[in-house]
Amino acid sequence: MVPPTASLKLRHILLAVAVMAVWGSNFVVIHVGLEKIPPLTFAALRFIAAFFPAMLLIKRPSVPWRNLAAYGLLIGGGQFGLLFIAMNGSITPALASLVVQMQVFFTIGLASVLSGERVQPFQWLALAIAVAGLALVIFHTDMTTTPLGLGLVLAAALCWAGGNMVIRATPNVDMLGYVVWASPFSIAPLVLAALMFEGAPAMVAGVMHADAVTWAAVVWQAVGNTLFGYAVWGWLLGRYPVASIAPMSLLVPVFGIAASALMLGEPLHAWKIEAMALVMLGLVINVMWPRIRTVIKMRAAQKSA
């Protein structure tokens, strides 16, 4: 059982930030991969590369197959299938990295309903400040984003939240093995969807025309984003309350916007910097307030002694 008031250790905060840096910059990597390979095919290749040859080296964790299937379908077939389709011309990498963070609220809401976890007042304040930063970016959205793109990414965020809850239903397991052995359940629906909506000729043409940069994007998707990112994320979700961990992913658009500016030349306007500052402030409150409160209580006790 996760302690309801567990506070994040510094090394775990740094580990979470490393994951957010990988995930944020990953939206640029997705953009690069989609230049050569159709979206569903690209998503399928990501999970194929995550499963082979890791399946030969990492044993299946002792969890029911239904849990692995649910996680694979939600994260692979749901989150990334929908996200890749949206990013294929319907939404920019920077904004996609932002909108998908609605999973924070979906995850906290699901945890409150399904697990009875209570959100602390300071966590609501932190979320409100971070949401103000997200709203600032959405307010400045240009015509490069369509309603379909926004809808697909919101659906992807809901699938991500569902995957988070599946992970929490099986705590204290080898998360790397969990991610590896859930991958086949991502591959099957993605391949079937690619055959239906993209067609075998387009799938084959995309693979044949992929260059070294595209294959590097596939490998990064598999190793950095999936095996490292989701294994660590799942481990943290099993160790801390959702309301403490989930808001850390609000750092993703900060890294996503910065990576898009540096690598794709997207303008880094003043309002983007302001939005990132609000997100950071919200995260600082969420992570640091328990420590600040403890110090205040200790000092008050010392004065009264």
pLDDT exceeds cutoff 60 at 257 = yes
- Tens-digit pLDDT profile for residues 107-131: 888 888 887 777 788 888 888 888 8
So what's the pLDDT on residue 204?
96
**Which residue has better confidence, 101 or 259?**
259
So what's the pLDDT on residue 60?
93
So what's the pLDDT on residue 43?
92
So what's the pLDDT on residue 124?
85
Helices 184-197 + 65-72 axis angle, to 10: 40
Backbone angles phi and psi of 2, in degrees to 5: -75, 125
What tokens does 171 get? 């705590």
Per the listing, tokens 């991610």 go with 179
pLDDT exceeds cutoff 90 at 200 = yes
Closest residue by Cα to residue 39 from 120, 117, 152, 144: 152
Averaging pLDDT over each range in 205-209, 247-251, 264-268, which range is the top one?
Answer: 205-209
For residue 115, count CB atoms less than 10 angstroms from its CB and return exposed for 0-12, middle for 13-18, buried for 19 or more. middle
Closest residue by Cα to residue 222 from 54, 58, 104, 94: 54
Phi-psi sector, 89: left (phi>0), alpha (psi -120 to 50), beta: left
Q: Cα dihedral angle (250, 160, 76, 251), rounded to 10 degrees?
A: 0
**Cα of 54 vs its chain's centroid, Å:** 22
pLDDT exceeds cutoff 70 at 305 = no
Q: Which pLDDT band holds residue 73 (cuts at 50, 70, 90)?
A: very high
What tokens does 122 get? 């300071």
Q: Alpha-carbon distance 256 to 155, whole Å?
A: 19
pLDDT exceeds cutoff 80 at 81 = yes
Side chain identity at 239, as an amino acid letter? R
Side chain identity at 172, as an amino acid letter? N
Side chain identity at 260, as an amino acid letter? S
Q: Which pLDDT band holds residue 158 (cuts at 50, 70, 90)?
A: very high
pLDDT exceeds cutoff 80 at 295 = no
Which of 35-39, 142-146, 202-206 is the least confident region?
142-146
Alpha helices in the chain (DSSP H): 10-33, 39-51, 54-57, 65-72, 81-87, 93-99, 103-115, 121-139, 147-168, 175-182, 184-197, 200-209, 212-220, 231-239, 242-245, 252-263, 270-304
